[in-house]
């Protein structure tokens, strides 16, 4: 039984990679499907619609986000790996939680980032804040992605497997040049200590060290777009820089900007 479980899990991971899912998604989905197979105690060839339905109906989800991940993982197994279709399984998603993103004060961020002595750390956090780059986008940046003549950065195969271009300021270009001169990276813009590519874990440790213990990298992304909005950048431009497919995703930052709220004239 163990060998058969290992076989389907291997097939599952290979299929995810074929569809170009990210490493983190492959790891996450693999975990949830392994839990499902362990729960059923059945050969994958004998799984029925009732097994899938019963499992999803009785899973104790910890959050809406986790519920969506589990449903996606199980649905992928059902449709893409086992090639089962037209069965009456409820794969419908819960309504998303609409939590406002947490941002960090602009003055505090600028002072803390610009005062960093380690040029690699300074470059990483500057990139994350200046363009709102995701961690995965930062560690996947290659040296050839930096167009210093055109003052642009090419972000390849970001979320949704889309490329985009973001503007490179003179200040950030100087930070990157200083970093490059000292560290002389190869291929990827940021190399790890023992690997060619820097790690997301190192980035997350970095922001806690320099910004705040409870801070996380995605806060720099939220802070970037909120601060751009506050300084008058239009939503369409922010949407392009962020790589948002829908303008509705970008519009959430109109609800976060305290500066905008402070300019509203209330009736009394």
CB 177 within 8 A of CB 188: no
Q: Does domain 2-81 have CATH number 1.10.150?
A: yes
Give the model confidence (pLDDT) of 168-178 as tens digits: 889 999 999 99
Give the model confidence (pLDDT) of 53-107 as tens digits: 999 999 999 888 899 999 999 999 999 999 988 788 888 877 665 666 788 999 9
Q: Does residue 114 have a pLDDT over 90?
A: yes
Residues 37, 6: Cα–Cα separation, whole Å? 10
Q: State pTM to two decimals.
A: 0.67
* Residue 154 dihedral angles phi and psi, to the nearest 5°: -95, 115
For position 172, what pLDDT does the model report? 93
Examine domains 2-81 and 106-262 and report if their fold is the same: no
Of the pLDDT bands very low, low, confident and very high (cuts 50, 70, 90), residue 259 is low
For residue 73, give the nearest of 94, 50, 56 by alpha carbon. Answer: 56
For residue 222, give the nearest of 253, 258, 244 by alpha carbon. Answer: 253
Q: Does domain 106-262 have CATH number 1.10.3720.10?
A: no
Q: Is the dihedral of CA 48, 54, 57, 58 positive or negative?
A: negative
Give the model confidence (pLDDT) of 1-12 as tens digits: 567 788 899 999
Sheet of strand 152-155: strand arrangement: 146-147, 152-155, 164-167
Q: For 139-145, which contacts have Cβ atoms below 8 Å and span 24 or more sequence positions?
A: 139/188, 139/190, 139/197, 139/198, 139/199, 139/200, 139/203, 140/188, 140/197, 141/188, 141/189, 141/190, 142/187, 142/188, 142/189, 143/180, 143/185, 143/186, 143/187, 143/188, 143/189, 145/189
Domain boundaries, the chain: 2-81, 106-262
Residues belonging to the active site: 134, 159, 218, 221, 244, 253
């Amino acid at each position: 039984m163990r060998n058969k479980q290992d076989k389907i899990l291997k097939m599952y991971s290979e299929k995810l990679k074929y569809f170009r899912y990210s490493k983190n998604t492959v790891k996450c989905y693999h975990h949830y499907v392994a839990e499902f197979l362990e729960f059923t105690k059945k050969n994958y060839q004998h799984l029925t619609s009732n097994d899938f339905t019963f499992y999803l109906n009785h899973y104790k989800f910890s959050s809406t986000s986790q519920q969506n991940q589990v449903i996606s993982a199980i649905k992928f197994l059902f449709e893409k790996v086992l090639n089962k279709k037209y069965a009456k399984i409820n794969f419908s998603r819960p309504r998303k939680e609409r939590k406002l993103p947490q941002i960090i004060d602009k003055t505090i961020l600028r002072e803390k980032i610009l005062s960093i002595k380690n040029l690699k750390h300074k470059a990483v956090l500057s990139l994350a804040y200046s363009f709102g780059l995701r961690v995965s986008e930062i560690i996947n940046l290659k040296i050839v992605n930096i167009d210093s003549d055109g003052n642009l950065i090419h972000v390849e195969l970001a979320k949704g497997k889309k490329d985009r271009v973001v503007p490179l300021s003179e200040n950030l270009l100087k930070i990157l040049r200083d970093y490059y001169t000292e560290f002389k990276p190869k291929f990827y813009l940021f190399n790890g200590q023992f690997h060619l590519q820097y790690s997301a874990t190192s980035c997350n440790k970095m922001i806690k060290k320099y910004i705040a213990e409870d801070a996380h990298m995605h806060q720099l992304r939220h802070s970037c777009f909120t601060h751009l909005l506050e300084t008058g950048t239009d939503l369409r431009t922010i949407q392009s820089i962020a790589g948002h497919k829908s303008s509705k995703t970008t519009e959430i930052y109109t609800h976060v900007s305290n500066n905008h709220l402070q300019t509203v004239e209330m009736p009394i």
